[in-house]
Structure formats: structure tokens, C-alpha cells
Amino acid sequence: MTDKPQRVRKAVLPAAGLGTRFLPATKAQPKEMLPVVDKPLIQYVVEECVASGIENIIIVTGRGKNAIEDHFDSSPELESFLESKGKSDLAELVHNIGNMVHFSYTRQKEPLGLGHAVLVARELVGNEPFAVLLGDVIIPGSRPATQQLVEVFEATGKGAITVEEIPREKTGLYGIVDVEPAGDSRWGKRLMKIRDLVEKPSPSEAPSNLAVTGRYLLPPEVFDCLERTQPGRGGEIQLTDGLRLLAKETGLYAHVFDGKSYDAGDKLGFLKATVEIGLENQEFGGDFREYLRSLKL
Ligand code: UTP
């Protein structure tokens, strides 16, 4: 009999990149702290972890990223100020931000690539499976993409990454997977075995139109793969290259998730997220919809 896969308790949120696509906004401010409607990007990501049953979040930060730690720290002065003004609902909201889950931080001294950022978290993760969520990709919705990956891991014992269909002409912007059917009736066509991954291929060279979306569920063996990964595209240690080794050595699934992702580290992706999440807002979503209609585009 095989052992039951370990429970997934930890998540790593790499947030040490320079955010050059969002300059000048990110010159002196972490892009993960840009607010979409009323919350910084990284809070959406943390909330997805909590909704997926994660108990420990490890945030990989770097120079100029202190605002992230401050955001999830306690703020007794602000809380007492709000209480003294009779705004206890806001005081509670502020209090809850730092108490959603247990946070730890580690630092990537130089932004040497996403794969390197994950490797920096090795000690804090230890010998157990963990989720990776990019700090600038948000996936709203009631069935979190990470929870969907946790279900795959806890049922199969194998790592899995979230993918979504994109128009073929856009393959050059994403990591693209080369896949074959997994043949597992529990997920049907949504679950595939990864044969290989290619970073940003041209449309004619892309093995599929399934793009890696920024959510990963990885076994601890990935750390050995990342140790052996040489700098690749852009001179960075790419997570994609580490995952190519993992797919060959232990197997790795691609899961077509049920939902929609926004790459909010990109200006257009950020605007789309702001509009769509704004439209869902209970307080002013209706007024916002009317306003957009009045623009008569
Ligand atoms: P991106 O490639 O989107 O981030 O990485 P970037 O390098 O900050 O952005 P651009 O391309 O220059 O605009 C996805 C996530 O991985 C983190 C980033 O902070 C982001 O949340 N990352 C990236 C690291 O933590 N370390 C790195 O060396 C690279």
C-alpha cells in the first residue's frame, strides 16, 4: 500500500521582483502593494491561500519591499485611533489583515529569477509539499485555483500547476506546456500529464496554447531540481526550467482551472482586474456599471 500524500499546509509567495513592466508606479513601491479597488494585490493572493486551507505563508521579499511586511503586521495605533472615533468595523478590518494566517518572511538578496526566489524559501518549507502563488496574479472566485491544485495533489501525490487556454498568437508572453491526457476520470480533460514546458515560445513553436498561470503545487523534490537549474532566459534561474526537470523525474500535472486569472503586474491586466472586480463590488458595483455604460464607448 502506498502512503497517503502529505497534507498541504504551506505556501510560498515570491514578491521580490523589480516590477519593471509597471514603472514608474513601482519605482519606490512594491508592485504587489498596488491596490485593486480597495486591497493590495498580495492581499487577494493571501486570501486565496486562506480559502484553500493553507496555514503558513512564506513571503519572499527583497530590497524596497518592506511595505508588504508592514501591511500584514499588527497596527495597534491605527486600531485604537479608529476605535476612539467609533469606527470599530474599520478597526476590526485592520486587525483581521494580520491575523488571517501565520506569516514568515525570507529575503531574496538579488532578483535572480522566479526559480531562485522559490529556492530561497527551501529552509522555511522543509520536506513537505507546498503551493506557490505569484504575488501579482489574482484569481478571484469562490473556488480558488490553489484549492483545485491541493485537491489534485492530495488525491494523486503528484505536483500540479494551473494552466489556462490563451489565443495562440500570445504564446510568446507565457510559459507553455506540452501535455498528454492524464486519463484520470475524476478530472476528465482538465487534468493532463506534462511532457515538457517551454518559456515564451513563438506561436509556430508552441507545443500547445495552454499557458502557465501563476499557481503551482509542488513536492519538496522541486528544490533539488532548482539547485541543478542553470540560469536560462534573461540570465535568470527560471522556475519553468526547474519544473522541466521535475516533470521528467517525478511527474507533474497541468490542471485547466475553473475561473479567470489577471496578470496584474502588467498595466492592461491590472486595469482589467480593477474594472471587473469593481463591477462585483457590493457597495458601488451598480453605480460603477452605470458609469461605464454612460461612457458610450
Ligand atoms: P514577474 O516576472 O512578473 O515579476 O514575476 P518582475 O520581475 O517583478 O516583473 P517585471 O517583468 O520586471 O515587470 C512574477 C512574480 O515573481 C516574483 C515577482 O515579485 C512577482 O511577484 N519574482 C520574480 C521574485 O520574487 N524574484 C525574482 O527574481 C523574479
Taking CB atoms and a 6 Å cutoff, what residues make up the pocket around ligand 1? 14-22, 32, 60, 108, 111-114, 116-117, 134-136, 265
| Mean pLDDT for all residues in the chain | 94
Distance CA 7, CA 54 (A): 10
- Minimum-distance ligand 1 atom for the alpha carbon of 62: 25
Ranges of each domain in the chain? 10-294
- Reported confidence tier of residue 124, pLDDT bands at 50, 70, 90: very high
Cis peptide before 129 (omega within 30 of 0): no
Joined grid coordinates for residue 153: 495533489
Q: What angle do CA 82, 88, 93 make, to 5 degrees?
A: 90
Identify the CA nearest to 148 among candidates 255, 290, 295.
255
Dump pLDDT digits (tens) for 247-288.
999 999 999 988 889 999 999 999 999 999 999 999 999 999
Quick check: 74 pLDDT over 90? no
Quick check: 1 pLDDT over 60? no
- Predicted local distance difference test score (pLDDT) of residue 2: 59
Joined grid coordinates for residue 215: 499557481
Dump pLDDT digits (tens) for 203-222.
999 999 999 999 999 999 99
% of the chain beyond a pLDDT of 90: 87
> For 10-294, which CATH class?
alpha beta
* Average pLDDT estimate for 91-105: 90
Distance CA 73, CA 92 (A): 14
Identify the CA nearest to 65 among candidates 107, 13, 125.
107
* Average pLDDT estimate for 138-160: 94
CB-based contact 22:58 (threshold 8 Å): no
Distance CA 249, CA 226 (A): 13
Q: What angle do CA 274, 280, 285 make, to 5 degrees?
A: 90
Distance between Cα 21 and ligand 1 center (Å): 10
Residue 6's CB is within 10 A of a number of other CB atoms, namely: 15
Distance CA 84, CA 104 (A): 31
Residue 81's CB is within 10 A of a number of other CB atoms, namely: 14
Distance between Cα 80 and ligand 1 center (Å): 36
- Predicted local distance difference test score (pLDDT) of residue 244: 96
Quick check: 142 pLDDT over 90? no
Quick check: 143 pLDDT over 60? yes
Quick check: 63 pLDDT over 60? yes
* Average pLDDT estimate for 12-30: 94
- Predicted local distance difference test score (pLDDT) of residue 4: 84
